[in-house]
């Protein structure tokens, strides 16, 4: 793999001015939309306009219809991301087209374009999630009841894949801890395990003879990781509903870990005393650890991890940037791993 040295990265690609202008343009757009709303006598709250501004930046997001009518009222009030790290980054957003066309979602196939091109029949209503294990309130909950009390908010996070590419994505969702609290985990709940839907009717990847995964796709976090304020459950992006290829109706986003931890289309959340098996770790333990914290000093056998390719890219322009420890979220999460050898616990 060709790696561009930091000195080769054009300053125009990283200039703070560009970052600054990008954020200002976004805020002006938001203000203009909010003003337009009030001049027209629109009753929609300013909060919702931030989502509208994001949709305006990504016209394709406008065409997505709500998975069910109740989603519309849920999305009417979204708290905008505060204008500062770690819940916002001034880095240029990855265009909607790349966020929704360059995906890993093996249930739909192994090519980056498979999830968007082969998920047309995937449906997310009705949808329920089983909550099980070490909690006082286990049960199977309809998604509408799960999301009902949650206040949706926007978060702009970096997403770093172990394949050494990265994006900047404006998610909509809520902190996972707010959901977890409602089920009242017991003192034995040391880990949280997640599972993705397996539907052979609508997910062509799960019946493919080339499939390498033992379905369902499984992921897990330690309870302190799962309840960390940065750990996010996303139900939308770019001011609109989550497209199937990005893990509709609900997927995890753990911004300081490699993307494979951010499991999509979740149907089960299980609280347990012991570390769960996880999909990629089961497949190839020497390549994919349970922790999977972004770490520029611990390389994957096939991908160096000290640089990353920031999408979008064209044939003629590729932007490489240096990868940061914990994907730039070290101030928030490094203490979770104090005393641990990160090269051993990769």
Please measure the distance between the N-terminal and C-terminal CA atoms of the chain and give it in whole angstroms: 22
DSSP 120-138: TT---SS-EEEEEESBSS-
| Strands 139-142 and 153-160, sheet pairing | unpaired
- Contact flag: residue 196 with ligand MTE (CB under 6 A): yes
Which position has the token pair 């926007």?
Answer: 154
Q: Phi and psi for 322 in degrees, rounded to 5?
A: -75, 140
Identity of the residue, 116 or 227, whose beta carbon is nearer to ligand MTE in the bound complex: 116
- Contact flag: residue 107 with ligand MTE (CB under 6 A): yes
Which position has the token pair 């790349």?
Answer: 98
- Contact flag: residue 52 with ligand MTE (CB under 6 A): no
Residues 235-254 that bind ligand MTE (CB under 6 A): 246
- Contact flag: residue 194 with ligand MTE (CB under 6 A): no
Between 46-57 and 16-39, two packed helices, what is the crossing angle to 10 degrees?
120
At closest approach, how far in Å is the CB of 312 from ligand MTE? 13
- Contact flag: residue 166 with ligand MTE (CB under 6 A): no
- Contact flag: residue 161 with ligand MTE (CB under 6 A): yes
Contact with ligand MTE (CB under 6 A) among 51, 259, 289, 328: 259
- Contact flag: residue 217 with ligand MTE (CB under 6 A): yes
Identity of the residue, 241 or 260, whose beta carbon is nearer to ligand MTE in the bound complex: 260
Torsion angle defined by CA atoms of residues 14, 292, 295 and 102, in that order, rounded to the nearest 10 degrees: -30
- Contact flag: residue 260 with ligand MTE (CB under 6 A): yes
Region of 17-25, 257-265, 284-292, 326-334 interacting with ligand MTE (CB under 6 A): 257-265
Identity of the residue, 3 or 283, whose beta carbon is nearer to ligand MTE in the bound complex: 283
At closest approach, how far in Å is the CB of 262 from ligand MTE? 5
Distance CA 110, CA 200 (A): 15
CA 165 to chain CA centroid, Å, is 14
Bond from prior residue into 86 cis (ω within 30 degrees of 0):
yes
Distance CA 192, CA 186 (A): 12
Identity of the residue, 196 or 227, whose beta carbon is nearer to ligand MTE in the bound complex: 196
Region of 88-96, 144-152, 263-271, 320-328 interacting with ligand MTE (CB under 6 A): 263-271
Residues 273-332 that bind ligand MTE (CB under 6 A): none
Tokens of 235: 């139900």
Tokens of 275: 């570390």
Identity of the residue, 34 or 221, whose beta carbon is nearer to ligand MTE in the bound complex: 221
Helix (H) or strand (E) segment spanning residue 156: strand 153-160
At closest approach, how far in Å is the CB of 216 from ligand MTE? 8
**Number of residues forming the site for ligand MTE (CB under 6 A):** 16
| Strands 128-133 and 266-272, sheet pairing | parallel
- Contact flag: residue 257 with ligand MTE (CB under 6 A): no
- Which residues form the interface with ligand MTE (CB under 6 A)? 103-107, 159, 161, 196, 217, 246, 259-260, 262-265
């Amino acid at each position: 793999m060709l790696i561009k040295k930091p000195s080769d990265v054009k300053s125009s690609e990283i200039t703070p001015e560009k970052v600054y202008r990008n954020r200002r343009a976004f805020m002006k757009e938001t203000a203009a939309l909010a003003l337009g709303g009030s001049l027209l006598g629109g009753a929609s709250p300013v909060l919702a306009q931030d989502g509208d501004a994001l949709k305006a930046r990504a016209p394709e997001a406008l065409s997505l219809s709500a998975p069910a009518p109740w989603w519309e009222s849920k999305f009417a009030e979204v708290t905008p991301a505060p204008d500062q790290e770690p819940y916002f980054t001034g880095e240029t957003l990855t265009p909607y087209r790349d966020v929704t066309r360059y995906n890993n979602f093996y249930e739909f196939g192994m090519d980056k374009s498979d999830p968007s091109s082969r998920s047309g029949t995937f449906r997310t209503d009705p949808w329920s999630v089983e909550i099980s294990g070490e909690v006082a309130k286990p049960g199977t909950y309809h998604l509408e009841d799960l999301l009902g009390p949650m206040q949706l908010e926007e978060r702009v996070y970096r997403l770093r894949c172990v394949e050494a590419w990265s994006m900047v994505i404006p998610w909509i969702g809520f902190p996972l801890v707010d959901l977890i609290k409602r089920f009242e985990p017991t003192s034995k709940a040391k880990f949280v395990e997640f599972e993705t839907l397996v539907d052979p009717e609508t997910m062509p990847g799960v019946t493919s003879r080339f499939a390498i995964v033992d379905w369902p796709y499984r992921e897990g976090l330690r309870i302190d990781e799962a309840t960390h304020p940065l750990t996010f459950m996303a139900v939308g992006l770019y001011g609109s509903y989550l497209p199937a290829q990005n893990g509709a109706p609900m997927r995890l986003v753990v911004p300081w870990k490699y993307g494979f931890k951010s499991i999509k289309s979740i149907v089960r959340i299980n609280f347990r005393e012991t570390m769960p098996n996880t999909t990629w770790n089961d497949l190839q333990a020497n390549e994919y650890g349970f922790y999977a914290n972004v770490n520029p000093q611990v390389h994957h056998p096939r991908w160096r991890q000290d640089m990353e390719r920031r999408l979008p890219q064209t044939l003629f322009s590729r932007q490489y940037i240096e990868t940061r420890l914990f994907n730039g979220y070290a101030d928030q999460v490094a203490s979770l791993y104090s005393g641990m050898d990160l090269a051993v616990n990769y």
